[in-house]
């Protein structure tokens, strides 16, 4: 296990421990967890701060030194608790289920059995999210799931700041295109996911590049594991086929 990995595991353990501690002790443990995470991230040209509630790293803090996620969730709870409260700022996180109908030329090509242009289009769609052989299979595969970073601008949960926020979304390859899905697991980048939009562009660009790099590293590691597992299955099947061949050869000798 690398030093960084050990630090991150320790940080998570400290936070678990904090759950059952007094407030003062919990803050100490949380701050230590955040310090370990900052150490792993290393010095950055963009702001790296720690939320005083979830102790995750962020590029923006609001009142009570809380991150946008904690503030938004506190606001939602307050809105639910208020019998007259009608303010709910729920973000539209629902996956896009719309499946546009294939254009006419595609339907005709399918009917006539002309695969060439369809295959090229399928491959182009695949390559939009997969770096073949590095973050996924070399050829398009229906059902393959990958994580991809996205970014956008949202108003901060309080105050007048506009935030640039990064998120990780899951996609499954289906019918020659990527469908957004809700998937468990996935990468949890250490790079902060929220920054004031007023930061210099170079800082935002560097943060985005770090964030995307972490998502890609996650995809590459999970594909490396999957590729090894597939290769092991292939080798087993090959050995089995060879053994069967040998045995059938033996029985022929009896004739």
Residues near Zn ion, by CB under 5 A:
51, 53-54, 67, 70
Minimum CB separation from Zn ion for residue 164, in Å?
A: 17
Exposure of 5 in the CB half-sphere (CA atoms within 13 A): 2
Which CB atom, from 56 or from 219, has the smaller least distance to Zn ion? Answer: 56
Minimum CB separation from Zn ion for residue 40, in Å?
A: 18
Determine contact, residues 58/67, Cβ cutoff 8 Å: yes
Minimum CB separation from Zn ion for residue 34, in Å?
A: 10
How would you classify residue 186: left for phi > 0, otherwise alpha for psi between -120 and 50, otherwise beta? left
Minimum CB separation from Zn ion for residue 15, in Å?
A: 12
Which CB atom, from 38 or from 130, has the smaller least distance to Zn ion? Answer: 38
Which CB atom, from 64 or from 117, has the smaller least distance to Zn ion? Answer: 64
Read off φ and ψ for residue 194, nearest 5 degrees. -140, 135
- The residue assigned the tokens 């501690």 is 21
Which CB atom, from 29 or from 146, has the smaller least distance to Zn ion? Answer: 29
Give the rounded distance of the alpha carbon of 157 from its chain centre.
23
CA angle, 194 then 200 then 201, to 5°:
80
CA distance 166 to 189: 10
How would you classify residue 68: left for phi > 0, otherwise alpha for psi between -120 and 50, otherwise beta? alpha
Minimum CB separation from Zn ion for residue 33, in Å?
A: 12
- How many other CB atoms are found less than 10 A from the CB of residue 180? 15
Determine contact, residues 199/163, Cβ cutoff 8 Å: no
- The residue assigned the tokens 């709910």 is 88
Which CB atom, from 74 or from 181, has the smaller least distance to Zn ion? Answer: 74
What residue is closest to Zn ion based on CB?
Answer: 51
Which CB atom, from 32 or from 121, has the smaller least distance to Zn ion? Answer: 32
CA angle, 185 then 190 then 194, to 5°:
100
Which CB atom, from 41 or from 118, has the smaller least distance to Zn ion? Answer: 41
């Amino acid at each position: 296990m690398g030093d960084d990995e050990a630090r991150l595991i320790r940080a998570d353990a400290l936070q678990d421990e904090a759950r059952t501690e007094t407030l003062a002790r919990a803050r100490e443990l949380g701050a230590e967890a955040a310090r370990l995470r900052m150490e792993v991230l290393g010095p950055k040209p963009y702001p790296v701060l720690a939320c005083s509630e979830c102790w995750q790293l962020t590029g923006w803090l609001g009142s009570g030194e809380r991150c946008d996620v904690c503030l938004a969730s506190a606001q939602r709870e307050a809105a639910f608790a208020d019998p007259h409260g009608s303010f709910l700022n729920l973000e539209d996180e629902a996956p896009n289920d719309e499946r546009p109908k294939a254009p006419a030329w595609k339907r005709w090509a399918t009917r006539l059995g002309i695969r060439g242009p369809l295959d090229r289009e399928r491959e182009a769609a695949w390559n939009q999210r997969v770096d073949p052989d590095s973050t996924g299979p070399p050829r398009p595969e229906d059902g393959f799931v990958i994580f991809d970073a996205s970014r956008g601008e949202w108003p901060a949960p309080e105050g007048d700041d506009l935030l640039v926020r990064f998120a990780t979304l899951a996609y499954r390859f289906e019918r020659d295109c990527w469908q957004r899905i809700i998937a468990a697991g996935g990468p949890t980048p250490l790079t902060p996911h929220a920054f004031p939009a007023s930061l210099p562009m170079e800082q935002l660009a560097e943060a985005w590049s770090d964030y995307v790099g972490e998502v890609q590293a996650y995809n590459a590691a999970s594909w490396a594991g999957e590729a090894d597992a597939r290769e092991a299955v292939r080798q087993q099947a090959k050995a089995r086929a060879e053994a069967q061949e040998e045995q059938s050869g033996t029985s022929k000798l009896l004739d």
